[in-house]
């Protein structure tokens, strides 16, 4: 389903990430973010590629892109290089903005494509920057959910056909929004379970106390703890 990037070929789809040097911000304000989006769009057009999802975070970004030609490395060097020049010129800086070479994973199944696009759009929620992906302006979620106009280089219809073939555009937007919301629910559940495990093993609270604090039944707490013990071989 997923394999390390080894080859470039026409029509390949990648999940690409690039992080700021020393994890420092790659955008300081909305002017920087606008500049990045403009450079991204120009680069995709110049190198005959398009995006299926994107998210510009504080110190890194995610792209899900398709290259019609075997030129991912050239495309990414252009994006990072041109944006670094613009960023340094505006802020009177010099040197590297990004940490090393970009990272890319080849996405070679339709099912994984949907998962990775949801992962990208949920990044601001996971980082606790917003409660809902709809509240974040610098990702593809609002366009894919039908809440904002999409840039010409974001292939909304193509992704919608993957998740809801044959539905109307409005139905496809709603289906994608529901799909992302389900992912948000899974993330919340994971965090809740981790809180239960920490309260039991680190805080030494009883299962009854944890259930009351977590607003779940005691059997749920017991099931989470038992599952953790089975996975980790923990004895209490």
Predicted model pTM = 0.78
Q: Which CATH superfamily is domain 2-163 in?
A: Transposase IS200-like (3.30.70.1290)
Q: How many residues does the chain have?
A: 236
Strand order in the sheet with 103-107: 2-4, 103-107, 12-19, 60-67, 49-56
Q: Residue 120: which of 112, 74, 26, 172 has the closest Cα? A: 112
Q: Residue 64: which of 117, 121, 6 has the closest Cα? A: 117
What is the domain partition of the chain in residue ranges? 2-163, 189-232
The one-digit pLDDT tens for each residue of the chain (236 residues) are 554 545 899 999 999 999 999 989 999 999 999 999 999 999 999 999 999 999 999 999 999 999 999 999 999 999 999 999 999 999 999 999 999 889 999 998 888 999 999 999 999 998 889 989 999 999 999 999 999 999 999 999 999 999 999 999 999 999 999 999 998 876 666 777 777 887 888 777 899 988 888 777 887 888 888 887 776 544 44
CA dist., res. 169 & res. 161, Å (int)? 9
User: 58: exposed, middle or buried (C-beta count within 10 Å: 0-12, 13-18, 19+)?
Assistant: middle
């Amino acid at each position: 389903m997923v394999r390390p990037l080894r080859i470039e070929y026409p029509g390949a789809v990648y999940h690409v990430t690039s992080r700021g040097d020393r994890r420092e911000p790659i955008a300081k304000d909305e002017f920087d973010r606008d500049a990045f989006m403009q450079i991204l769009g120009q680069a995709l057009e110049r190198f005959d590629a398009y995006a299926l999802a994107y998210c510009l975070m504080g110190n890194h970004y995610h792209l899900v892109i398709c290259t019609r030609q075997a030129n991912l490395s050239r495309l990414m060097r252009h994006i990072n290089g041109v944006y670094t020049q613009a960023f340094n010129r505006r802020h009177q800086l010099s040197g590297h903005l990004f940490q090393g070479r970009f990272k890319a994973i080849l996405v070679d199944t339709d099912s994984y494509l949907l998962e990775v696009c949801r992962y990208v759009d949920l990044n601001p929620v996971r980082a606790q920057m917003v409660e809902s992906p709809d509240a974040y302006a610098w990702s593809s979620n609002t366009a894919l959910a039908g809440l904002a106009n999409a840039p010409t280089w974001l292939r909304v219809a193509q992704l919608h056909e993957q998740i809801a073939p044959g539905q109307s555009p409005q139905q496809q937007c709603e289906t994608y929004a529901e799909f992302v919301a389900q992912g948000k629910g899974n993330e919340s559940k994971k965090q809740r379970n981790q809180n239960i495990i920490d309260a039991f093993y680190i805080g030494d609270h009883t299962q009854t106390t944890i259930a009351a604090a977590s607003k779940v039944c005691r059997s749920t707490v017991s099931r989470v703890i038992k599952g953790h013990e089975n996975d980790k071989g923990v004895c209490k």
